[in-house]
Amino acid sequence: MPGGPRWDRRSMLRTGAAAFGGAGVGWSASALLPSEASAATSAAGETLTLAPPAGSETAPAVVGRHQAGVTTPPQAHLALVGWDLRARRSRESLRRMMRLLTDDARRLAAGRAALADTEPELAAYPSRLTVTFGFGPRVMRELSTVDAGLEPLPAFRGDALDDAWGQTDVVAQICADDPITLAHARRMLLKDARGFAEVRWIQEGFRTARGTAPAGASMRNLMGQVDGTVNPDPAEPDFDGLIWADGEAGGGAGGRAGGEAFAGGTFLVVRRIRMDLEGWDRVDRRGREEVVGRRLDNGAPLTGEHETDAPDFNATTSFGFPVIDPASHIARARSSDPVQRFLRRPYNYTVPDPSRPTGEDSGLLFLAYAADVARQFVPVQRRLSEMDRLNEWTQAIGSAVYAIPPAATDDGYVGESLLGTDA
């Protein structure tokens, strides 16, 4: 009645009194699920089943023991949300927060409305939605019962880090092919976390829309470069050792801690890289290719013809100069150590900024997944920061690292193996 107490799922969980099941609240979601296929009639009167629309496609919520969104083919849109836990943080409150987030993420990814969703119509088309959760160093140090070996990233030469884009306690990587689906999922998760954490930042990104380029084509960043050519392929025998923590200390990429509780997890590096596109515009095409070490038309190294051709750093011109500049981006990023590889999942960003001559701030949200950040990512980034010609037009303004726990069990939540059992 008016003025009486208002009970909802979030208030019940926050007080530790969540005794309700889901009965009676799932009807609106199921009523709104799109049909998996539509029917048409041929000229001969036969009934034909058509492929489902792209909006009704779902991505696997769990890949083995891994969270979705790492090896999932990248979707067109990204919202990266970073939260800081409130001052009176506790393991118990983080458990409750992650239960809420995991439950709603699971429902939304399946095309079902979140519990207490006031706009369930917006959840009807999942559009390959995935949500990937991670914990920052402070959470792993103070609240986790498991030592996964997560350490803050070291300082790199040339960085101009803004704390507004810095390290947070919790992160959610939300990806979908439809921006409305993405915006709705983000709003639901922000509502879930409101009583437990404060938003430090939301970083939005985009890639080429589905259907614009051939499936599997490498993304282009806003400088026109093909980005992600050297990504390890899941079919390669060393892929799992490079990306996933298997719980065996010293195995795979080396030095992993966490034991069985972290097996199936990985680590995420987030770097917000601002681009000087106005300055880049003044560089001619040949100069751009020499800076990068690759052709701009198809991404091939300057010594090759195709994007995936191996670069020949020993090749010289008729005058004896290297074809690929040793200070080019491709040369500085490459290593003879096969361990110094990781899975890139980059997104472009552009936001209005009237203080800049162009009226906008543009760049790259560089996301990288690795089993051992210190051994795989850090050496590469140090080489780039020391002598990469591309640094004249790029600068990191944000940096963070996260432990990505294994996937949740069917009735559990992400992070449960790291946070222990409820009291």
The Cα 16–Cα 37 span in angstroms is: 42
The mean pLDDT value for 37-47 works out to: 57
Residue 350 has pLDDT above 50, yes or no: yes
Cα 277 from Cα 353, distance rounded (Å): 14
Q: What are 176-207's pLDDT values in tens digits?
A: 999 999 999 999 999 999 999 999 999 999 99
Look at 21 and 221; give whichever has higher pLDDT.
221
Please give the pLDDT value at position 63: 79
Catalytic residue among 84, 117, 192, 227: 227
Q: What is the pLDDT of residue 257?
A: 62
- pLDDT for the residue numbered 228: 86
Q: How does the average pLDDT of the chain come out, rounded?
A: 88
pTM, two decimals, is 0.87
What count of other Cβ atoms lies within 10 Å of the Cβ of residue 264?
21
Is 309 a known active-site residue? no
Report the alpha-carbon distance of residue 130 to residue 66 in Å, rounded.
12
Task: Render pLDDT for 243-281 as a digit per residue (tens, 0 to 9).
Answer: 998 744 333 444 456 789 999 999 999 999 999 999 999
Instruction: Report the pLDDT value the prediction gives residue 25, as an integer from 0 to 100.
Output: 34
Give the other-Cβ count within 10 Å of 298's Cβ: 12
3-state secondary structure of 338: coil
Give 295's Cβ-side CA count (13 Å radius).
Answer: 14
* DSSP-assigned letters across all residues of 202-241: EEEEE-PPBTTB-TTPPEE-TTS-EE-TTPPPTTSTTHHH
Q: Taking 90 as the threshold, does the pLDDT of residue 126 lie above it?
A: yes
- Region 317-326: mean pLDDT is 96
The pLDDT of residue 51 is: 55
What's the first-to-final CA gap in the chain, in angstroms? 34
Assign 3-class secondary structure to 284-309: CHHHHHHHHCECCCCCCECCCCCCCC
Instruction: Over range 346-354, report the average pLDDT.
Output: 96
Burial class (CB in 10 A: 0-12, 13-18, 19+), 2: exposed
User: Residue 185 is inside which H or E element, if any?
Assistant: helix 179-193
pLDDT at 47 over 80: no
Domain ranges of the chain: 53-419
Task: Inform me whether the pLDDT recorded for 320 exceeds 70.
Answer: yes
